[in-house]
Every structure is written in C-alpha cells, then in structure tokens.
Copies of this chain bind each other. A is one copy, B any other.
C-alpha cells in the first residue's frame, strides 16, 4: 500500500550521519567506525532499507546480472543447467536474467542487443548460434561471453564443452565391443557443434573398428522429429542393429518408436545409445546407455571464466573441454545376450 522507497538519505537522516557513511556501511571493503556502524544498522533496520542494486550499478558499472540465452528447455539437460548455473551465481552475488531465443540466428542478434541494454556483466550462450559479427560486437562492448555446450570458430570466444568427439568415439567402440555391426546415427540440428562433433567422433570410432555407417537420419533435437527419423530408419527390411541418437532427449523418442510401434526389443534386437545422461536416462523405463556430461564441472568452469573476466578485463578467451564418462546401462547388449 504505502509505497515509500526508502533511500540511503533517509537512513542517514535518521542515524544522524551523512549519506556517504551509509553508503560506506553497505559497501564491502570500506570501513566505518563501530559507533556509526551501529547507528546506521539500527536506522536501516527500522526503515527496512536495502541498497538499490540498479542505482549502485549505474555508478560502479557492475550490474551483478548475468544474461543467459537459451533456445529451448524441452531437453532436460538445459533446465538442469539453468538451475545449477543460477544457484552457483547466486552464491557469488550474481543473478541470471533469462532470454529465450528462437533457433533462428537473426533472433539471437536482436536478443543479444536486449541483453546488452541491461548492462549485464557477462553472457552465457547455451543452445544458440551467434554470428561472428555479433560476437565481435559483444566483445567490443567489453562484456565477457561464454559459450556453453557449443563451439564457434571465433577464437575470441570462451567456451565450455564436453569432449563430444571422444564421447562419440567411446559410444562407437562400446557398440562394436558388444558385437554390433550395423551402426546407425540419428543427428541433431545440423548447425550445432555438438551434433557435428559427436557424429565425427562416432564415425572415427567406426572407422577404427573397420566399419562404415549403416544408416543416417536427422531428428533436429526434437522429440517428434526423432520419432519420425526412427520410423524411416527402421521401416525397411535391412535394419540397423544399433543406433546412436545425438542426445538423450531424442533417444527416448527413438526407443519409444522401436518398442511400441515396431515391437522391437532393446537391446536384444537393437541397441540404443544417447548423449547427456539426463535424469530419465537412468529411469528404468529407458535405462539408457549414454555419455555423462558433467554439468557441475561445466557450470563451475563457466562461472570461473566469467568471474575472472569480470574482475580483470582483457583476460584471454579460454576453451575448456571436459571429459564425459561412458555410462553403460540396459539399452546396450552385453555379449552373451547377442549370442
């Protein structure tokens, strides 16, 4: 009801000190005498005063806001990222401003402008493509950027990823070791670096085993499109005996089609592997063999890069690539089942 914005001046007046004293009291790293500190504390509590972050940011040049660009939260991987990233930044006194972008690249440009309008101290780009030109612009504005779970050619951009190449290779080896020979791949969105690298690693693994890719289709990271891809891929007479689906989210769709539409047994008739290790992957209904992305470490590295870049400018860009572990579950055959 009563909309009394209480300012540092009000507190100062009540406490009988100057406004600067109040400001100093609330600014970490500055000193005030014990006596005035107590007077200010009492006055502030009485009035319910808290410093205005926005006004503060105007003068310090730091907003303590991190912009997060995400394209879609449909895939369980990203909510998890949002939660952990947000928690981690909160602990450091920062907060996350969310920007949902379309997959279209032109929208990303518009959105990045909006982000900069908010004077964010840093930007995390997850699941969004960014033109080099735009990257340059952000770089010029002095705002540190971290690409999360994707790579860009631009050397000036920091990035945190899992070892998608190695992961893809691990999966190929695992499938071959368990006796599979007709290996197929269902791709994500072709523009994504994760898609590209996972596929490349998979193909390398195949080549090392002396195999060629048996079939390929595209699911664009969407459940429904992955279903369609699975239908196409398994409708013929010559079926793959194993399929790597570019992420878990799509793998669930593929498994559902194989089991409930085509009546195939997993892993007896066909092995399925995914990537990410989102929570449903370990739920018994799916029990999916996959590569675990270490979200905790990825987030920690992201926060680390951002905060150091914020504190001392002109930090060189860093590229962090974290290992992912193969998690073997029931969706891939052990050898004896195969015999």
Contact = CB atoms under 8 A, between A and B. Distances in A.
Interface of A: 1-3, 5, 48, 50-55, 57-58, 61, 63, 65, 72-74, 76, 78-80, 82-83, 86-87, 90, 95-100, 113-114, 116-119, 137, 139-142, 223, 252-253, 255-257, 259-261, 279-280, 283-286, 313-314
A252 B282 CA distance: 12
A277 to B, nearest CB: 15
Contact of A286 (B5, B76, B261, B285): B285
Given A96-B97, A285-B286, A118 B86 contact: no
B279 A280 contact: no
Contact of A97 (B1, B82, B95): B95
Contacts of A117: 50-53
A114 B90 CA distance: 10
List 6 A-B pairs, minimum CB-CB distance, nearest first: A3-B142, A260-B284, A79-B79, A73-B79, A256-B284, A285-B285
A140 B2 contact: yes
Given A51-B117, A53-B119, A100-B87, A140 B1 contact: yes
Contacts of A256: 283-285
Nearest to A84: B100
A54 B119 contact: yes
Contacts of A87: 100
B73 A80 contact: yes
B95 A96 contact: no
A314 B118 CA distance: 28
